A and B are shown apart, each in its own frame.
Chain A
Amino acid sequence: MGFFGKIAKGLKRTKEAFSKKIYELFKGRALDDDFYEELEMALISADVGVETASQAVEELKERCYQKRIAKPEDAKDIFSEILQEMIDYEIPEYEYPLCILVAGVNGVGKTTAIGKLAHYFTSMGKSVVLAAADTFRAAAAEQLAVWADRSKVRIIKHEEGADPAAVVFDAIASCKAKKTDVLLIDTAGRLHNKKNLMEELKKIDRVVLREYPEADYRSYIVLDATTGQNALSQVEIFKEAIDIDGIILTKLDGTAKGGVVIAICNEMEVPVLFVGVGEGKEDLLPFDAEEFIGEIVP
């Protein structure tokens, strides 16, 4: 539960525009070229991207041919299956102590996502520490402090302009001393092509690996659901700097469809883990591939 209600609300708009179109397509008469072309366009209009859209459509053609399916109605389940295969991943269970590094470009909602993650873990009865390693953007630490306050968790911060790796170092020391379950690291939003900022991220990564080897360490990238094809290059470049274990997809409560995650899951092999569907602290939900696709292909 939970997930479905919220994501249904978040995806309501999606349903109205994009899914409606797909829904009507599959009610059509024949699996002809027009059908496939319109299906591809519908996917592209959801930011799925040219490559993945045409791949999905080709795959559908192939499977329909093999199974001798002629009616769009019967092809629908196969299509859902194809999309689902593209985004479904086995995610290893969390072990504690857990350390999550959260990265991403400016303005995707990293700090907010961390605030919500803090709530997610505290509501499971875990103790949480936030590391304010975004020492670059004006007032970022203060923003994180507000979130720490909301979920009543500890926050480790230095002054603006301080070395982010030092913040992380202190946060790890604090986690060890107080036997904290979860450490969440907020990092500066960096445009993915800024070399020195990426170096800084690598440094944080090294500090965690060196100082906190006992922790289950994951690094997530936050993506904005409204982002288009540039999201692919965001993931690619971040992957060069650090291992990316998963995606947090934010702002899925607008009209955006977040279709670009299908492209990313498919082309980059990084799974989506959480989706943000609102402004409240509980509005971050574990991602469910089946239901996500269920909303896209109703």
Chain B
Amino acid sequence: MGAFEGLGTRLNHIFSKLKNKGALTELEIKQAMREVRIALLEADVNFTVVKNFIAAVTEKAVGEEVLKSLTPTQQVIKIVNEELIALLGGSHTKLAVADRPPTIILMCGLQGSGKTTMCGKLGMMLKKSGKKPALVACDIYRPAAILQLQRVGEKAGVPVIEKGQIAPLKIVKHALDVAAKNGYDTLIVDTAGRLHIDEALMDELKELKSFLKPTEILLVVDSMTGQDAVNVAEKFNELLDITGVILTKLDGDTRGGAALSIKAVTGKSVRYCGTGEKMGDIEPFHPDRMASRILGMGDVLTLIEKAQEAYTEEEAKALERKMREASFTLTDYLAQLDKMKKMGSLASMIKMIPGLSSKIGNQDLSVDEGKIAKTKAIIQSMTPQERDNPDMIKSSRKKRIAAGSGVEIQDVNALLKQFESSREMMKRMRSGRRGGFPF
């Protein structure tokens, strides 16, 4: 995966030669900008956008401060990062609410961009925030699309209004009646995926828009879209005057340069992004984090937030104290494993750590998740006394634990040994520095 190395690594490579000089010449800045350009293009940022961006950054970077800076790599990355954030738009804006209900959210986009799934995710998110949403099935073309929306609605726990394959305008009229009757305050309208150059279908969307007067018109874009993203967004924006963008499939190693292109060309910012297959996998869009992502620098903030969601402050303090005093027991260990699960998969967390994602790349990480499950099973097969005092576990207890958790005795031995050595490690770390998880 050499092509997707982080920008930081590449810049370091350039600047490593001039460490002793400590200042940058214009030529070196130019070389650096070439790397930035490649990084952006490889993240699928539109090439015209890249061109303008590079021009703007070069102007800033050639300034006095950078040339005298002692850490040119950081300095250049900082400028690039700041400019990216500025380009991606300020802070996250929530979905607007209509003065008079129902609030109508019209979803549009190309085929396969993930509209139907996103309808469900938005629905569930709004429901959690106390709204009473319903999904409206207006994709009357794709085989089984209505059925798919119904299944999605079931998973999200949000009602679906459908009328079969009749004209979308009739469906939405019906939906408004249903909403009034049942007190739904938000309608999320799923439409058929269409090519932006398909005039007949685009007219259908325009018709829906002028009838519904939606509060939000959201363009759903696959984050893997290439250079064409701008054409698509421009056309949809021109015809419908969209109010925002949702990026889907942003899990994994997708850089999502499309977000930058779209914002630069249409001025409409990304509001939410879909990050996984489950209904809860939707996140508000944060420009700063996206910038890091585009540059291949990871997403530490999201990681920290996820950790914060899983741990309360007291829990974290208690954990730290236990680690320091080395009074950490298997019971604590088990609790840690559960927290880890709450934070998401190991693989997805590693992707967020700067530098690590490019180093580890696509190496096998999921195996460890299987190992975690196994470890949990072993600990759960122990009595509370055994968990708090693992030294008492001798051979007959080991046999029982192994049988109880369906593993071999060697596995139990391995876990105990590992636990012992991590406790040793904690003892050595008593200086108060925070340690990692003991496995």
A176 at the binding interface (Cβ < 8 Å) = no
Do A107 and B249 contact each other (CB < 8 Å), given the known contacts A44-B47, A45-B227, A230-B255? yes
The reply to whether A47 and B227 contact each other, CB–CB distance below 8 Å, is yes
B166 at the binding interface (Cβ < 8 Å) = no
B414 at the binding interface (Cβ < 8 Å) = no
Do A107 and B112 contact each other (CB < 8 Å), given the known contacts A193-B252, A254-B196, A255-B232? yes
Closest to A143 in B: B144
Tell me which of B48, B251, B257, B367 contacts A193 (CB under 8 A).
B251
A123 at the binding interface (Cβ < 8 Å) = no
Distance in angstroms from B134 CB to nearest chain A CB is 17
A49 at the binding interface (Cβ < 8 Å) = yes
In the assembled complex, which residues on chain B have CB atoms less than 8 Å from the CB atom of A143? 142-145, 148
A84 at the binding interface (Cβ < 8 Å) = no
Tell me which of A191, A253, A254 contacts B252 (CB under 8 A).
A191
Distance in angstroms from A169 CB to nearest chain B CB is 24
Tell me which of A17, A137, A233, A251 contacts B111 (CB under 8 A).
A251
A231 at the binding interface (Cβ < 8 Å) = yes
Interface size classification for chain B: 35 or more
The reply to whether B111 and A255 contact each other, CB–CB distance below 8 Å, is no
A-B contact count (CB 8 A): 151
Closest to B367 in A: A195
Distance in angstroms from A275 CB to nearest chain B CB is 15
CA distance A138 to B143 in the complex (A): 12
In the assembled complex, which residues on chain A have CB atoms less than 8 Å from the CB atom of B195? 251, 253-254
Do A254 and B110 contact each other (CB < 8 Å), given the known contacts A193-B252, A228-B226, A233-B1? yes
The reply to whether B3 and A256 contact each other, CB–CB distance below 8 Å, is no
Could you list 10 A-B pairs, sorted by A, with CB under 8 Å? A139-B151, A142-B144, A195-B347, A224-B112, A230-B226, A231-B224, A236-B1, A237-B362, A259-B227, A260-B226
CA distance A224 to B248 in the complex (A): 15
A30 at the binding interface (Cβ < 8 Å) = no
Within 8 A of B (CB), among A105-149: 105-109, 137-140, 142-143, 145-147
In the assembled complex, which residues on chain B have CB atoms less than 8 Å from the CB atom of A147? 143
In the assembled complex, which residues on chain A have CB atoms less than 8 Å from the CB atom of B56? none
The reply to whether B228 and A256 contact each other, CB–CB distance below 8 Å, is yes
Do A254 and B114 contact each other (CB < 8 Å), given the known contacts A44-B41, A49-B42? no
In the assembled complex, which residues on chain A have CB atoms less than 8 Å from the CB atom of B196? 254-255
In the assembled complex, which residues on chain B have CB atoms less than 8 Å from the CB atom of A138? 147-148, 150-152, 155
B197 at the binding interface (Cβ < 8 Å) = yes
In the assembled complex, which residues on chain B have CB atoms less than 8 Å from the CB atom of A196? 366
The reply to whether B110 and A106 contact each other, CB–CB distance below 8 Å, is no
CA distance A143 to B145 in the complex (A): 8
In the assembled complex, which residues on chain B have CB atoms less than 8 Å from the CB atom of A230? 44, 224, 226, 253-255
Closest to A46 in B: B227
Distance in angstroms from B161 CB to nearest chain A CB is 17
Within 8 A of B (CB), among A222-277: 224, 226-233, 236-237, 240, 251, 253-257, 259-260
CA distance A233 to B1 in the complex (A): 8
The reply to whether B226 and A227 contact each other, CB–CB distance below 8 Å, is yes
In the assembled complex, which residues on chain A have CB atoms less than 8 Å from the CB atom of B228? 47, 226, 254-257
CA distance A45 to B251 in the complex (A): 25
B4 at the binding interface (Cβ < 8 Å) = yes
Distance in angstroms from B385 CB to nearest chain A CB is 36
The reply to whether B44 and A228 contact each other, CB–CB distance below 8 Å, is yes
A192 at the binding interface (Cβ < 8 Å) = yes
In the assembled complex, which residues on chain B have CB atoms less than 8 Å from the CB atom of A44? 41, 47, 227
A290 at the binding interface (Cβ < 8 Å) = no
Closest 8 CB pairs of A and B: A228-B226, A107-B112, A138-B151, A146-B143, A228-B44, A195-B366, A142-B144, A193-B252
In the assembled complex, which residues on chain A have CB atoms less than 8 Å from the CB atom of B1? 233, 236
Name which of B257, B277, B364 has the most chain A CB atoms within 10 A of its CB. B277
Within 8 A of A (CB), among B352-386: 362, 364-367
B38 at the binding interface (Cβ < 8 Å) = yes
In the assembled complex, which residues on chain B have CB atoms less than 8 Å from the CB atom of A191? 249, 251-252, 277
Within 8 A of A (CB), among B66-110: 110
B113 at the binding interface (Cβ < 8 Å) = yes
A82 at the binding interface (Cβ < 8 Å) = no
The reply to whether B144 and A227 contact each other, CB–CB distance below 8 Å, is no
Closest to A107 in B: B112
The reply to whether A107 and B111 contact each other, CB–CB distance below 8 Å, is yes
